[in-house]
Amino acid sequence: MAEEVYEKKMLDKLSDVLIKTLAIFMEKIRPGWSIRNKSRLDEWRLMLYALNRSTLGLIGLAIVLTFIFIGVFGPAIAPYSYSDLLIYKDVKYRFIPPGGKGPNGEIFILGTDEWGRDMLSLMLYGARIPLIITLLVMVIGAPIGIFLGLVAGYYGGKVDEIIMRITDIFLAFPSLVLAIGFAVVLPDRIKNILETNLWLQDILLAFFAIEPVDAPRLANLLAVIIAIAVVWWPGYTRMVRGSTLSIKENIYVEAARAMGMGSLGIMFKHILPNMLAPLLVIMTLDVGSLILLEAGLSYLGIGAQPPLADWGRIVYDGSKWLYRGYWWLSLLPGFLILIVVLGFNLLGDALRDILDPKVRRSIEFKIKRKR
Amino acid sequence: MTFVPTLIGVTFIVFIIANVIPANPARAWAGGAKASPEVIERVIEEYHLDEPWYMQYLFLMSKLLRNEIRSPYTHNKIWDDLIFGTRQSGGAGSTYGRFFVSLQLALIGFTYVILIGIPLGIISALKRNTIIDSAVRVLALVGVSTPVFWLGYLLIYVLYVKAGIIEIAGMPEPSQRLTGIMVLDALLLGEYKIAWQIINRLATPAFVLGFISIGAVARVTRNSFLEAWNADFIEYGKARGLRKSKLIWHAFKNASIPVVTMLGMHFAFLLGSAPITETVFSIPGLGRYLLDSIKNFDYPALIGGILLFATVYMLINLIVDIIYAFIDPRIRY
Amino acid sequence: MLKTTCRPILEVRNLYVNFYTYAGVVKAIDGVSFTICEGEIFCLVGETGCGKSVTSRAITKLVPNPGKIEKGEIIYYTPQGKIDLLKLSEEELRKIRGKEIAYIFQDPSSALDPLFTIGYHVAETMVEHKTVRNLKEGLQKAIYILKTVLIPDPEKRVKAYPHELSGGLKQRSVIGIGLSNKPRIVIADEPTSNLDVTIQAQILDLLKKLREREGLTVILITHNMGVVAKMCDRVAVMYAGNIVELGPTERIFENPLHPYTKGLLRAVPNPLIKIERLESIPGTVPNLIYPPPGCRFHPRCPYTMDECKRRKPKLIEIEDGHYVACWLYAG
């Protein structure tokens, strides 16, 4: 797997280049932007420096970027292609341990499974589904949750009560259990909808890059996405509502209202930006939890179905061989999940630190003294 | 309080799930492809499957609440499966419903969390910024990142496949149900061997469950203790001449509030993670019941299971709220 | 008050306090010396950040991290003789804090532990210093103490939690806690800054009354010249970690010597002198990591001379009991 290692000083210069590019880009869209936002740009640069000083944060970032890379390009760089994996190979290829050699001298870095398939390729294929599902759940669930939280916190009164009551109902379930519930009963319904709306099915198949022959898996995939999204949005609503309630009390909100700004405007221009920092941290940390939830569902057999490759599912398929001593079938994908989630958590932790102005200042002083 | 309307809402969600269920499982419940038409008829009759969905829902709920409905798969009454136990006069069946097995598992896991997590937290607060502190921080991070099934299989591989120390089949239980906590009942009945067997069987899965929370609880304990220690009232206490042990007591009491809240959250989380752990270790608990009912298209059981889960979850949150109000005089209703 | 009638009870000699922060070493207290006479109300006045709070904390070695008392002596005069407080062990100091020297802090809301009743706070402090035998006795006595500080309905209030009381009542409780062990010195750090103006007056009156009744010595820290005029017998003006002027209150108000004091008095309405216009002092408080050389006020002083930039002036007596640290008067 490709991973590049930088020297420390170069990272700072890289950060400068990044910020400068951003500034140039924004200038083109809105002239005068860089001057108006100079102090903001300086703060962002300082944030990047702070990130560069946090070893764990950089490791997290590296892991996250690698994961995204594998998710997108995994199948392309896998040594053995997808269609090969479906052919039942020569018995001699089965259960080769990691680092072992095949009958023709090929080296299998991560070994092979019960079908003789290369584990390394399987791992590279298996990152895509978790990545897609996580992204989609974030893209669907988070905005809904945030919007509802803003509305509830801002308007208060009956609206608040209704929204919070609904949120509480969803939060009354353990996430996994509720996700299981939805993920089990939705596929059939979705299948019906897709079969009666073939145009929808075609669009979605293309979007997910799924072969038409595997169409039934699509319903399953959609069900999982919807199930997890349903379980996920209430957490954001509650958190955003709390933040909105306290931000709402600030004078500038009242001032904006006095100047005639509409409610939606206030919510999005004044209240939301003030909670972006902690929100970003929570979202990063949440990605880790989402991946775990998705892997859990797949492991239980409820998530993505073969032949769609998914790390959690691979663990399930390999678990029965554990007792024969073939540990790498199930322990390897599980370990990868651990690393990826750890990466997101490390990154989120580092983000939490660099978004804290006090920490940034102390780093600023340390850097300045060196200069 | 807000408990009741939420409960109603919960049943509504469950209803939505139930409503979305694939139509006509009668054939499957009657025994599959070979089922005779009369059996299918009987099944349809027993479960009111020929009525519109809202009637089905009402029927299901009312029967469920009175424990009169049987799972089409196990043929036991659902609440019996789940709570009361299916012991028949011949001695077959289990004394405890699935719920109590999961409860026992969660309690042992919780014990790990308290016995390991809190002392670790206090130590890392006292020894700030040392290796121990960093180690606890890493533990917390790794803990929250660990997939439950991976850790479970890892331990199974090491302790069962390689070393043969633990059991991963069967579930011993005491002969009578007294308090509902299996180990406690066994001890009360003098069935020490059974108590030991239960602990043996559940020790490893409970550790897997608890591992995730240990680090996080240690972190929260550390942070809230430090925050309390740096609070103004501690400085004022010093200015009043209070001795160190008194100051620690003040800090501790204040720190316990966020810790208790977090513990409550994690206990609920422990319970929610049950399905995976129970599957890995083949434990006949509530989580596995849920999953089995899915496999067997046993929708009444699924509904009952989800309902039970939600109710217990809500109860735990309620208890945490009550404890919270008890400790903190600023929150009183 | 003339020097001859002063019986010293506390003497600060040559106090230096540094704060070791990530930005550098803050030289917060830079050689401060003053004497406090028994039974007087002595004020430390100055802008935020001048070091008055730190000085008051340093008296019983309560300076928090990352602060450190570099050198100096705090001589405390007891009937048994003189003790240097800075040389005492932590345990010996603990016995003095809250018993002989009591503190009243600025924000009563954060000073009180929200999980305990104010009766408990009072009783706890008394039990700690063995003024009473146990908590039960302490709680009973607490009711009496709350009455002393004029808290209405003390029997009920003694069982109240801090969040149930108003700011004024909380501060009175804190005063009560401070007095519960019959201290000789009370150090009040901006006791009224967080309170409403009307409550301020009440609390200050209470302090004055208690001083007379109990024979206390009060060290009062404030940034408000009005409070100084009302309360203080003698006052020390602090700037950037130094005492720039020290003397009886009337003399300071009628004849301010140091340019900074003059600036302070010109910035607020003064009932003793007619001022045409209120003026602010130009410039800002200096960075104490890299303090200006010589006199720390010289960058903002309208009368700066060469000597001011080179050497720091010492406090010298100009008239009876009235000292100033300024090269304008040093001959």
Helix, strand, coil in percent for chain C, rounding step 5? 35, 25, 40
Measuring CA to CA, how many Å separate C296 from each of A162, C29, C303?
A: 62, 12, 13
* pTM summary value: 0.81
> Which residues on chain B are in Cβ contact (under 8 Å) with C163?
329-330
Residue at A209 is within a domain: yes
Q: Which of B242, B328, B329 sits opposite C124 (nearest CB)?
A: B242
- pLDDT, residue B33, reads 58
Full residue range of the structural domain in which residue A284 is found: 122-362
pLDDT class for B146, splitting at 50, 70, 90? very high
Question: Which chains pack against C, by 3+ Cβ pairs within 8 A?
Answer: A, B
Specify whether the CB–CB gap between B173 and B95 falls below 8 A.
yes
- 3-state SS record for chain B: CCHHHHHHHHHHHHHHHHHCCCCCCHHHHHCCCCCCHHHHHHHHHHCCCCCCHHHHHHHHHHHHHCCCCECCCCCCEHHHHHHHCCCCCCCCCCCCCHHHHHHHHHHHHHHHHHHHHHHHHHHHHHCCCCHHHHHHHHHHHHHHHCCHHHHHHHHHHHHHHHCCCCCCCCCCCCCCCCCCCHHHHHHHCCCHHHHHHHHHHHHHHHHHHHHHHHHHHHHHHHHHHHHHHCCHHHHHHHHCCCCHHHHHHHHHHHHHHHHHHHHHHHHHHHHHCHHHHHHHHCCCCHHHHHHHHHHCCCHHHHHHHHHHHHHHHHHHHHHHHHHHHHHCCCCCC
For the ranges A181-190, A218-227, B32-41, C158-167, the maximum mean pLDDT occurs at C158-167
Contact state of B17 with A169 under an 8 Å Cβ cutoff: no
Measuring CA to CA, how many Å separate B320 from each of B222, B259, B313, B315, B317?
A: 20, 11, 11, 9, 5
What's the whole-number mean pLDDT along residues C201-207?
88
What's the whole-number mean pLDDT along residues B100-116?
90
Interface residue C80 vs chain A (CB under 8 A): no
The interface residues of chain B toward chain C in range 241-260, judged by CB-CB distance below 8 A, are: 241-243, 246, 250, 253-254
Contact state of B254 with C105 under an 8 Å Cβ cutoff: no
Residue at A298 is within a domain: yes
Interface residue C115 vs chain B (CB under 8 A): yes
The interface residues of chain A toward chain C in range 346-365, judged by CB-CB distance below 8 A, are: 361-362, 365
User: Closest approach of chain C CAs to the CA of A321, in angstroms?
Assistant: 56
| Beta-carbon contacts below 8 Å between A and C | 8
Contact state of B254 with C112 under an 8 Å Cβ cutoff: no
User: Closest approach of chain B CAs to the CA of C216, in angstroms?
Assistant: 17
Q: Which residue has the higher pLDDT, A9 or C18?
A: C18
Q: Which of B240, B246, B327 sits opposite C97 (nearest CB)?
A: B240
- Report whether pLDDT(B89) > 80: no
- pLDDT, residue A63, reads 93
> Which residues on chain C are in Cβ contact (under 8 Å) with B250?
113, 115-116
Specify whether the CB–CB gap between A121 and A80 falls below 8 A.
yes
- Report whether pLDDT(C242) > 70: yes
The token pair that represents B241 in the structure block: 């001449």
Write out pLDDT tens, residues B225-244.
988 888 899 999 999 999 98
- Report whether pLDDT(C83) > 80: yes
Long-range contacts, C305-308 (Cβ 8 Å, 24+): none
Select the residue from A53, A359, A365, A370 to test the C interface by mutation, using most C Cβ atoms within 10 A: A365
Interface residue C91 vs chain A (CB under 8 A): no
User: Closest approach of chain A CAs to the CA of B252, in angstroms?
Assistant: 26
> Which residues on chain A are in Cβ contact (under 8 Å) with C23?
361-362, 365
> Which residues on chain C are in Cβ contact (under 8 Å) with A362?
22-23
Structural domains for chain C = 3-88+235-329 (3.40.50.300)
- Report whether pLDDT(B59) > 80: no
- Report whether pLDDT(C6) > 50: yes
Q: Which of C98, C107, C115 sits opposite B329 (nearest CB)?
A: C115
Specify whether the CB–CB gap between A56 and A346 falls below 8 A.
yes
The interface residues of chain C toward chain A in range 8-67, judged by CB-CB distance below 8 A, are: 22-24
The interface residues of chain C toward chain B in range 122-161, judged by CB-CB distance below 8 A, are: 124-125, 128-129, 161
Residue at A18 is within a domain: no
Specify whether the CB–CB gap between B17 and A181 falls below 8 A.
yes
Specify whether the CB–CB gap between B276 and A334 falls below 8 A.
no
Q: Which of B147, B156, B273 sits opposite A295 (nearest CB)?
A: B147
Q: Which residue has the higher pLDDT, C130 or B165?
A: C130
Rounded CA-CA distance B16/B310 in Å is 15
Residue at A69 is within a domain: no
> Which residues on chain C are in Cβ contact (under 8 Å) with B328?
114-115
Contact state of B145 with A185 under an 8 Å Cβ cutoff: no
> Which residues on chain C are in Cβ contact (under 8 Å) with A365?
22-24
- Report whether pLDDT(C42) > 90: yes
Name the residue in chain C with its Cα closest to that of B255: C115
- Report whether pLDDT(B80) > 80: no
- Report whether pLDDT(B171) > 50: yes
- Number of structural domains found in chain A: 1
A317-326, B75-84, C321-330: range with lowest mean pLDDT: B75-84
Contact state of A366 with C23 under an 8 Å Cβ cutoff: no
- pLDDT, residue B20, reads 64
- pLDDT, residue B114, reads 92
Residue at A57 is within a domain: no
ipTM of the complex: 0.88
Write out pLDDT tens, residues C174-200.
999 999 999 999 999 998 887 888 888
Residue at A314 is within a domain: yes
Question: Which chains pack against A, by 3+ Cβ pairs within 8 A?
Answer: B, C
- Report whether pLDDT(B267) > 70: yes
Residues 6+ positions from A146 with CB-CB distance below 8 Å: A236, A237, A240, A272, A279
Write out pLDDT tens, residues C107-117.
888 899 999 99
User: Closest approach of chain A CAs to the CA of C18, in angstroms?
Assistant: 19
Interface residue A213 vs chain B (CB under 8 A): no
- If residue A330 lies in a helix (H) or strand (E), which one and from where to where? helix A328-354
User: Closest approach of chain C CAs to the CA of B221, in angstroms?
Assistant: 18
- pLDDT, residue C249, reads 92
> Which residues on chain C are in Cβ contact (under 8 Å) with B236?
103, 105, 111-112
> Which residues on chain C are in Cβ contact (under 8 Å) with B232?
105, 107, 110-111
Interface residue B238 vs chain C (CB under 8 A): yes
Q: Which of B148, B271, B302 sits opposite A174 (nearest CB)?
A: B271
Q: Which residue has the higher pLDDT, A343 or B25?
A: A343
Residue at A88 is within a domain: no
Task: Find the angle CA(B149)-CA(B151)-CA(B156) to the nearest 5 degrees.
Answer: 90
- If residue C312 lies in a helix (H) or strand (E), which one and from where to where? none
Write out pLDDT tens, residues C48-72.
888 899 999 999 999 988 889 999 9
> Which residues on chain A are in Cβ contact (under 8 Å) with B142?
338, 342
> Which residues on chain A are in Cβ contact (under 8 Å) with B313?
172-174
Measuring CA to CA, how many Å separate B37 from each of B27, B34, B47, B59, B300?
A: 9, 9, 15, 23, 22
Residue at A160 is within a domain: yes
pLDDT class for B115, splitting at 50, 70, 90? very high
User: Closest approach of chain C CAs to the CA of B329, in angstroms?
Assistant: 6
User: Closest approach of chain B CAs to the CA of A6, in angstroms?
Assistant: 24
Low-confidence ranges of chain A (pLDDT < 50): 1-8, 370-371
Rounded CA-CA distance C98/C116 in Å is 18
CA-based R_g, chain B, Å: 24
CA-based R_g, chain A, Å: 24
SS3 C68: strand
CA proximity to A362, closest of A50, A12, A35? A50
> Which residues on chain C are in Cβ contact (under 8 Å) with A366?
22
